[in-house]
Chain A
Amino acid sequence: MNVNIILTCLIFFPIIIGFLGCLFPNKFFFVGVFSLLVSSVLSFLGLLNGFNESFVLVNQGGILLSFDKFSLPLIFGTSIVLLITFSLRKKYFSHYFYQISLVLFSALSICFIAKDLISIYIALELTGFCAFLLIADKNTNKSLFQSFQYLIGGGLAMLIYLIGVIQAFTYTGSFALDDLSLAPSTALCLIVAGLLTKSGIFLCGIWVPNIYTNASIQSSSILSGCVTCAGIAPISRMSQILTPISNSMIVIGVLSAILAAILAIFETDDGRTLGWSSVSQLGISILSPSYACLYVMQHGICKCLLFNTLNENSDSQIKNGLIKNNDSISYHQDLIGLITFIIAGLSIAGFPFIAGFTTKTLLKYDLPSSAQLIVSTSALLTSAIYVKLIISKLKRFRFAYYKKTPSINIKSILNQNNLILIFCILFLISTSFLRFDLFKTIYITNSLSALFIGGILYLCVMGIEKNIESSNIRKTIDIIGAPFIVAAILLANLTYFKL
């Protein structure tokens, strides 16, 4: 059988399972999990072997799809994020939750592999609808209003994108991504502004922290893990072809990385801090087109783990019978949650011997030497953020189990959730050894010193944080206006400044 047909079927299989699952919810859950497992294993193998295959879906004039170094890591990351969320929080799922997630998976995969502007538009809109449903899933007034904001901001961004697409079409005569080199700069600005809004990079991405705090835990872990990756693959494809775009991405990336990190440090709520940190990390990722997807994949998996372990088992969960009322079980679950939180946090901060170190080093030394300074600065701020988060998590853990020493019982440690978390920790550590050549003394000391200085930086600003009122970027007008401002900045950069 033809490889192309199998690959296409793998991409479209989850969407069919998602719709069938609405009719028979229990029967198709495991089929959905199986399809995610298959795609994660295949994409990981493809990533290791440098698989590169691009084909046209229907004969001449069809849709150009490409499985390469841009799409494979993102498909792997998305499927792993969904698998982690499915296995850890199945009990909390509402009626149509996993079906929406499966549809989301297909939409995101199409977004990663498509190489023409219109397929990307449709996939992004489908992603937006799924994300909207996931946010509204909590069904409180606040989350409904946030989902409204997300949809109206996303809809406007996609309209801006469409205007850019039609302008590019009048010059190039096709919708292919590769032909954009003939397009005028205004069209490029509009297209990139739309993509940036969907991927949640600074100024356009001010919806990110609001939504992460107001959505339920399973939704925010999926949103942070994969929905924000949606725009990254097209942006990195574009910036590899077009030098003006890759140059202006450095400007936008720097703004995003530094400003969002500073906002994250002064934020008092932990969920919002994670949201701003997400914006900052995505900003770093678009600096380098060739390693952006790998970096975003690692960030997504770690963020998903962070969101799943952010909150301890509360009394209300015990009351509802979701967790057995047993101190020992709850203690061990929280302890392993704490360890996972610390490992995932350190991974994003770039601690050696964890996956984050590998991707960060690859990205940093791919850049020109003048831009490496920026990555170092943002690494400093990132480590300050994660020192802050880990300290506050440790404080909460100590408060919850103050002067309690539950007995150690092997049975209470070996339940499903703990095993999955332990597996994730081992996976994060073992993947860093895939690139053994990166463990040089300079790189290791570099990252360790960045962590150390970041910790000191946090201790310095710890007192100020309480006095600054939490940033009040919650208005709809901010979300609506941001794409226009970014498009204007890009246009000014492309035509006059040429940075």
Chain B
Amino acid sequence: MHFGQELTSLILFFPLVVLIIIGCYGLINSKNIFNALFSLDVIDTATISLFVLIAASSGLQTPITGLRRYANYADPYPQAIILTAIVIGFATQALLSAIALRLSRSNPLLRFKDLED
């Protein structure tokens, strides 16, 4: 029984690890700026999901106490922190897109090959 529980939690982590690997692969192999930007977003999403998954390990109930008390509340601490990380990730994406827009005036294809000499 105990072994089974550990196995399920490991299986839940599996897609996130795959997502991180996909993001890293994309970042390393991307030929232009836009692909790199999307790959970074994929890794960002995977990290956020990792936080959410770990917060939910103690239970799935929303951590707000009401009249009725539940036994299985989710951990609010990582959830509160990941909110900041989501906003920061969004800001990073915005800045990177602005730069991509600016660079596209001189290099419409936005290839790394043209930009780094």
> A residues near B, CB below 8 A?
118, 121-122, 125, 129, 132, 136, 141, 144-145, 147-148, 151-152, 155-156, 158-159, 162-163, 166, 169-170, 175, 474-477, 480-481, 484
Within 8 Å CB of B84, what residues of A?
118, 122
Closest to B33 in A: A148
Complex Cα–Cα for A175 and B40 (A): 25
In contact, A122 and B88 (Cβ under 8 angstroms): yes
Complex Cα–Cα for A236 and B87 (A): 29
Complex Cα–Cα for A484 and B102 (A): 30
The 0/1 profile, CB within 8 Å of A marked 1, for residues 78-112 of chain B is: 10010011001101100110011011001100001
List 9 A–B pairs whose Cβ atoms lie within 8 Å, in order of A's numbering.
A122-B88, A129-B95, A141-B115, A155-B92, A156-B40, A163-B50, A166-B50, A475-B112, A476-B116
> B residues near A, CB below 8 A?
20, 24, 27-28, 33, 36-37, 40, 43-44, 47, 50-51, 54, 57, 78, 81, 84-85, 88-89, 91-92, 95-96, 99-100, 102-103, 106-107, 112, 115-117
In contact, B54 and A169 (Cβ under 8 angstroms): yes
- For the complex formed, measure the closest distance between the CB of B114 and the CB atoms of chain A, giving whole angstroms: 10
Within 8 Å CB of A158, what residues of B?
88
Also in contact, A474 and B116, with CB within 8 A (given A136-B99, A141-B106) = yes
In contact, A484 and B24 (Cβ under 8 angstroms): yes
A141, A145, A147, A175, most chain B CB atoms within 10 A: A145
Within 8 Å CB of A151, what residues of B?
92, 95-96, 99
A175 partner, pick from B27, B81, B117, beta carbons under 8 A: B81
In contact, A480 and B54 (Cβ under 8 angstroms): no
B28 partner, pick from A147, A155, A163, A481, beta carbons under 8 A: A481
Within 8 Å CB of B57, what residues of A?
170
Closest to A174 in B: B77
In contact, A475 and B92 (Cβ under 8 angstroms): no
- For the complex formed, measure the closest distance between the CB of B73 and the CB atoms of chain A, giving whole angstroms: 15
Inter-chain contact total with CB atoms closer than 8 Å: 79
Within 8 Å CB of A170, what residues of B?
54, 57
Closest to B113 in A: A475
Chief secondary structure at chain A's binding surface: helix
Nearest 8 CB-CB pairings of A with B: A148-B99, A145-B115, A155-B92, A125-B88, A159-B47, A162-B47, A118-B81, A474-B116
In contact, A476 and B112 (Cβ under 8 angstroms): yes
- For the complex formed, measure the closest distance between the CB of A456 and the CB atoms of chain B, giving whole angstroms: 36
In contact, B40 and A145 (Cβ under 8 angstroms): no
A145 partner, pick from B27, B54, B103, beta carbons under 8 A: B103
In contact, B54 and A166 (Cβ under 8 angstroms): yes
- For the complex formed, measure the closest distance between the CB of A189 and the CB atoms of chain B, giving whole angstroms: 15
Closest to A163 in B: B47
Within 8 Å CB of B102, what residues of A?
144
In contact, B28 and A480 (Cβ under 8 angstroms): yes
B96 partner, pick from A141, A152, A162, A163, beta carbons under 8 A: A152
In contact, A147 and B99 (Cβ under 8 angstroms): yes
Complex Cα–Cα for A200 and B85 (A): 22
Complex Cα–Cα for A67 and B40 (A): 35
- For the complex formed, measure the closest distance between the CB of A274 and the CB atoms of chain B, giving whole angstroms: 21
Within 8 Å CB of A156, what residues of B?
27, 40, 43
Complex Cα–Cα for A481 and B29 (A): 11
In contact, A169 and B103 (Cβ under 8 angstroms): no
Closest to B103 in A: A144
- For the complex formed, measure the closest distance between the CB of A432 and the CB atoms of chain B, giving whole angstroms: 42
In contact, B91 and A129 (Cβ under 8 angstroms): yes
- For the complex formed, measure the closest distance between the CB of B41 and the CB atoms of chain A, giving whole angstroms: 10
Also in contact, A144 and B99, with CB within 8 A (given A474-B116, A477-B28) = yes
B116 partner, pick from A122, A152, A163, A475, beta carbons under 8 A: A475
Closest to B36 in A: A152
Complex Cα–Cα for A475 and B29 (A): 12
A155 partner, pick from B24, B40, B100, beta carbons under 8 A: B40
In contact, A148 and B96 (Cβ under 8 angstroms): yes
- For the complex formed, measure the closest distance between the CB of B107 and the CB atoms of chain A, giving whole angstroms: 8
Within 8 Å CB of A477, what residues of B?
28
Within 8 Å CB of B20, what residues of A?
163
Within 8 Å CB of A125, what residues of B?
88, 92
Within 8 Å CB of B44, what residues of A?
155, 159
Also in contact, A480 and B27, with CB within 8 A (given A166-B78, A169-B54, A475-B112) = yes
- For the complex formed, measure the closest distance between the CB of A446 and the CB atoms of chain B, giving whole angstroms: 43
